[in-house]
Structures are given as C-alpha cells and as structure tokens.
Structure 1
C-alpha cells in the first residue's frame, strides 16, 4: 500500500490496526500522523485517547499491554511509538524487548487501538524477523524525498491551497534557493503567500527578492558560477557568506564536498548508473544529484581531482595558520575561475 491509498482509507474510516512509518522525510511523516489524529480522534478526546512511547525507554511488551488495555471514556486509542532499534540496524539499547510479544499481537491486534511505529531511519533491516512479520501483517509506509516534477507540483499545490498561484518557474527558483527539505519549503511558501495575498500570483522575481539562499544552495550557485567563468558572481557569493559570519574553513569544506559529489556523480554516470541509483548510492537527494550531474559536464575528471587536492592543501594551510583564511580562499577562487 502507498501513502495516498492509506490516507484515503483513513478518511473513509477504515484505518489499519498497526502502521509502521519510516524514511527521511520527517515533514511528510508528520503530515500523515496529523491526518490520523484529525480523522480518528475527536479533539475533546485527545487527552485520554492518545499516548506516546519510545522503545529506547519502554519495553515493547509494556507498549503492547497499553494497546490491549480497553480505552477509558473514549471509543479508541492512538498510540505512537518512536523506534530506532527494533526495525532497523541501529545500536542496541539498555532496554530488553520481548519481540515475540509484538509478533503475537500482529497476528490478532485489538480493534480499539491503533499502533503507529515511527522508525527513525532511512531503511528497515530486512534481515530481522519482526520486519518481515510487520510487512506481512501491518501497513508499512515509506516516506522518502520527493524530487523533480513531483516536488515542483507539490509546491504549486501548497500555494494553491492558500489560494495563491505559483508557476513552474517560480517553484524551481524556490527549490534552487531554499533546497529540498519539505519543512523548509513549506515555511517559505507560507511567507511568499502572505506577501502575494489571497488571489495573488508568485513570480520568479518575487522568489528571488524574498527568499535568501541557504549556505548549501549558495555553494551550489558559487560552483555553478565558477564553471561558467562568472568569477565576479562567485566572489560576490563568497563575500556575502562572510557577511553572514560563515567561517572560511566551513565554506572551503562545503566547496570541497560539492566538488567531491560532482566527481562521484561523473564517475558513476560514466558507469551507466541512473540519477536515482546515484542518489541511492551516495545518500543524496535526487535534486542534488541532478545539479551535480549538470556541473560535472563542465569539468574533466582529472581537473576535479586536482581541485580536490588543492582544497585539501588549502584546508591544511588554513588550519595551521600558514595562510590567512579569507585571503587563502580568495586566491583559490581566483585561480579556479581563471582555469575553469
């Protein structure tokens, strides 16, 4: 079952008895849990009908006991369980869990409790018996990053829900400036829609005027400017980062990280890996892989290796005081821009 199907079932009053939610997109997971609360538990019942546990602090058998206890003064209970150990390859905790208790419960869950496991991890440990059992007996939903047209469409819909029109170009500009975190993007959409007002329209220019680039997006833009021999713009971004009190050593580290990603994407692309496969291999959002892929076309692999070596040398010089940090990074950018 996918998330959309699960939401439809909840809205129809047909929730599952047990959910397992996992993935990196915490904003989407929160949206789903909010739907569970709003659709299944009346507001005046929430003090009695909702409970939260953490498997790092509470044995699973105690949580199952809570689920099996008949609710008091309310028709059903909603129990949230945070976990980073039972379903993943996480570190062992001091708590001893009787996993068989959960396995037995999954065979015959009560109809007056809804158990929701919130797994703090990108992947489940498929080797574990409890993971296999839960997948066969419960509703397991993955919340990974959205990207490409799906992400821009999500932004357009977010604006539309606030009765504001946002075009494709404005949505793409917002992503390029704020990144791909749904939580960050949602906050920026709120701000932009307040500016536009109900019935208003958001343009690319509005986004550029109102949304400041975060540090990582500034580094993306700086590398893009270097690749296109726009040295003046690259230096402008560098000076703006300094005004924002960013440390030169941190800036250099982020530049190095971006060039390392560009080289990795270039090498994996040469081996016929798809964008999605590269993203999975490197643990990156597909949008970041897309940007790096475009940038990789502008640098030979040998040039990228030389840049990374130069950055490693610069890092050593800055940390040992062999060169002034700001001057060292300025000289690096000037040399890089003149040889790109």
Structure 2
C-alpha cells in the first residue's frame, strides 16, 4: 500500500492495527503519526490512549504486552515504537535482547483495541527477516522517501494553500533553492511566509528573497548558477557576503568543488541512462538536488567540468600551503571561471 492510500483510509476510519513506517524523510513520518494521533487520541485522554516506546531501551515483548492489555477509559490506544531496529539489518536494539517470537505471534493475531506504529529511520528494511515478511503480510508497510523534484515543488504549493495563502511555481522553486530540501525546514519557512502574507495573501519570489535566509550550501549553489549564466557581479556579491559571515575561504572552495563534482557525476550517470531517482540513490542525494544539478550541468561539457575540478584541487593546495592569499585565490578562480 502507498502512503496516499493509507492516509485516505485513515481519514475514512479504516485504520490498520499494525503500521511499519520506514524511510529517510522524518517530517513525512511525523506527519503520518500526527494524523493517526488526531484520529485515535482525544487530547484530554492522551495519558490513557497513547504510549511511546524506544526499542533501544525497551524489549519488544514489553510492547506486545502493552498492546495486549485492555485500554483504560478509551476505546483504542495508539502505541508508537521508535528505533525499530528489529526490522533492519545489523544488530537488533543494541544491548537489549528482543524476543522476536512474541512479536511474530502478535502480528499473526493483533488486538483490536491497539494500533502499533513501528518507526524505522532508514532507507530499507531487511527483507530476509521473518518479522518483515510477517508485517508485509498482515500489517501496513509504508515507505517515506524524499520526494522527486516536481513533487517537492507541488508539496510546497499545497502546504502554502493549507495555510490559506497562494504561491506560484517560481516562488516555490525559489523557496526550495533558498531553504534546501529538508521538509521540516521548508514547513517552518512556509509558516513564516504565510504569516507575512496573511490569510488570502500571495507569496512571490521577492517575498522569498527578503524573508528566507540561505544556508552556506545554498549560497554556493546560487553562486555557481550565477557563474554558469555569466552573472559575475551577483556571484561576487554572494562571495563577499559569505566572507562577511566569516566563512572560511577554504570551506567555500570545498563547497564549490562539491557542487561541480555533483554536476559531473549527474552528467555522467545521465549519459548512462540512469533515471533521476536512480542517480539520487547512487549518489545519496535528494532527487531535487539531482534535478537542479542536472540543469546546471547542461551548461558545461564533461571535459570543462573535469578541468574546473582540477583547477579547484590546485587552488586548494596553494591556499593550504600558503602559495596564494585565500581570498585573492578564490577571486582569481571566479574571474577565470566566468571568463
């Protein structure tokens, strides 16, 4: 079952007694558990209707025992189980020994008065384990991975609309370019922008530029974009702003090199017919980062990117060995790159 179907079922009152949520997108998992909490737990009865466990501190049999125990003063209780390493490869639960047989027995016959949500912050489950196979057969297993490029933009637009405001695609893309791809950070910036715009207001790229502060990494990305488009004045403006923020020139050089390295890797993998999602998985990057890097890489041929990386390696050596002033070295590199 996919996440959208699971959310629809929950809103219609069809709630599974067992959920296994895994993936690297923590914000989406938190949103899903919040939805279950909203549907199952009355705010005044939270002490009776909700229990949270951590399997790094609690054996799995204690979770099973809690699930089998009848709830007090409520119809159903929600049990959140974090650090569910029993579903992944590697050692289970650290120093805690878990009796997996107890969980397997429960999965085959879950209690009607309990809903258990197991949370795994990782890319994959260990498909070889009996407990994973049992959950897939009897429970609801949901993947929460980073959204693709277009999906993330649409998500940002929907989040703004939920708060009673409007934002166009260009402004949503500017928001992601400034804030980054982490959904929790994006949601916080959306709250700020909507507060600024007011209910019924519109958010444009100017509002994003004024209110959303870019991280050093995002500044480097924008600076490289300006260089690719021969907007040297804007590129130098960002560079000098980073220096005012006391960013070390060697760090700036390393981040510029990282961006060009990503561009070269994306270009090479795309040439080998890898999809955006496959490239993201191969390079351990967010799909939206891959999308933007691919767009930047089209402005350079592979040979030019390799030459730039070679120049950056030489600059890094000269800066660290005292062969050139750090700021001057970066200025000369940016001028050469723009030329």
TM over 0.5: yes
Evaluate the alpha carbon distance shift between residue 229 and residue 19 of structure 1 in structure 2; reply closer, same or farther with a 3 A threshold: same
19-28 vs 171-180, greater mean Cα deviation: 171-180
Counterpart position of 2:34: 34
* CA deviations over 1:179-229 (Å, ceiling 9, x no partner): 222211111111111111122122222222222222222111111122222
Q: CA deviation at 1:53?
A: 1.2
Q: Whole-Å Cα distance in 2 between the matches of residues 76 and 37 of structure 1? A: 11
Residue in 2 that maps onto 1:131 = 132
How far apart, CA to CA, are the structure 2 residues paired with 1:321 and 1:169?
43
Q: Are residues 257 and 84 of structure 1, via their aligned partners in 2, closer, same or farther at CA, if it must alter by over 3 Å? A: farther
Q: Which residue of 2 aligns with 1:329?
A: 330
**1:100-155: CA deviations, max 9, x gaps?**
22111110011111111110112212222222221111101111122333222222
Counterpart residue number, 2:154: 153
User: If the length of structure 2 is used for normalisation, what is the TM-score?
Assistant: 0.93
Partner SS, residue 81 of structure 1 = strand
Partners of 1:114 and 1:207 in 2: how far apart? Answer: 41
Other-structure match for 1:74: 74
Rounded to whole Å, the distance in 2 between the matches of 1:252 and 1:127 is 44
Q: In structure 2, how many angstroms separate the alpha carbons of the residues matched to 1:177 and 1:90?
A: 37
Normalising by structure 1, we get a TM-score of 0.93
State the match for 1:272 in structure 2.
273
- The CA distance in 2 between the partners of 1:301 and 1:14, in whole Å, is 53
Relative to structure 1, the CA distance from residue 90 to residue 257 in structure 2 (aligned partners, 3 Å threshold; closer, same or farther) is farther
Task: Give aligned pairs, total.
Answer: 338
Take 1:251 and 1:88, find their aligned partners in 2: how far apart are those partners? 37
Q: Residues of 2 paired with 1:256 and 1:219: CA distance?
A: 10
User: What are the ranges of 5 or more consecutive residues in structure 2 without an aligned counterpart?
Assistant: none
**Match for residue 204 of structure 1?**
205
Could you tell me how far apart the structure 1 residues matched to 2:321 and 2:113 are?
Answer: 64
Work out the CA distance in 1 between the residues paired with 2:320 and 2:54: 42
CA contact (8 A) 1:59 1:95 kept: yes
> Aligned partners of 1:328, 1:90: CA distance in 2, in Å?
46
> What aligned pairs does 1:41-120 form with structure 2 within 5 A after superposition?
41-83=41-83, 85-92=85-92, 93-120=94-121
Cα shift at 1:21: 0.6
* Conservation of the 8 A alpha-carbon contact between 1:13 and 1:40: no
Distance 2:56 2:319 in 1: 42
Aligned twin of 1:11: 11
| Aligned residues of 1:84 and 1:121 also touching (Cα < 8 A) | no
Gaps of 5+ in 1: none
